[in-house]
C-alpha cells in the first residue's frame, strides 16, 4: 500500500529526490531511491541527464504498471 502511495506521489509531477524523500516522511531516502531505481530500470521513469535531482515519468507506462500492481494487490486480499 505504501509502495503504491509512493508511486502515485512520484507520478503526480516531476519531483526532486530530496523533495520526494522529504515529503513522504514514512519512507527513507534510501527506500525512495530504490523505488526510483526500479522504476528507471523498468523504463517507467526517465532520469534527466543534466540534473541528477530531477525525474520524469513516462505516464502511460507508469499508469499501466500501477494498474497491474493494484490488480495484483486486490487479488491477494
36 φ/ψ angles, rounded to the nearest 5 degrees: -60, -40
State the Cα–Cα distance between residues 6 and 54, nearest whole angstrom.
16
pLDDT band at 22 (very low <50, low <70, confident <90, very high): very low
Global confidence as pTM: 0.30
> pLDDT value at position 38?
72
Identify the CATH class of 2-76.
mainly alpha
**Range list of β-strands (E), the chain:** 45-47, 55-57
Query: Mean pLDDT across the stretch 64-72?
Result: 61
pLDDT band at 60 (very low <50, low <70, confident <90, very high): low
Domains of the chain, by residue range, sit at: 2-76
Question: Please, what is the average pLDDT of the chain?
Answer: 56
pLDDT at 16 over 60: no
End-to-end CA distance of the chain: 12
Angle, CA 40 vertex, CA 6 and CA 74 arms, to 5°:
45
Torsion of CA 30, 70, 39, 34, to 10 degrees: 10
Amino acid at each position: 500500500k505504501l509502495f503504491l502511495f509512493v508511486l502515485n506521489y512520484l507520478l503526480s509531477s516531476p519531483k526532486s529526490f530530496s523533495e520526494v524523500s522529504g515529503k513522504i516522511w514514512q519512507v527513507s531516502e534510501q527506500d525512495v531511491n530504490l523505488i526510483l531505481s526500479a522504476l528507471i530500470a523498468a523504463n517507467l521513469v526517465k532520469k534527466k541527464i543534466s540534473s541528477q535531482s530531477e525525474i520524469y515519468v513516462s505516464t502511460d507506462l507508469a499508469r499501466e504498471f500501477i494498474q497491474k500492481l493494484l490488480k495484483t494487490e486486490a487479488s491477494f486480499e
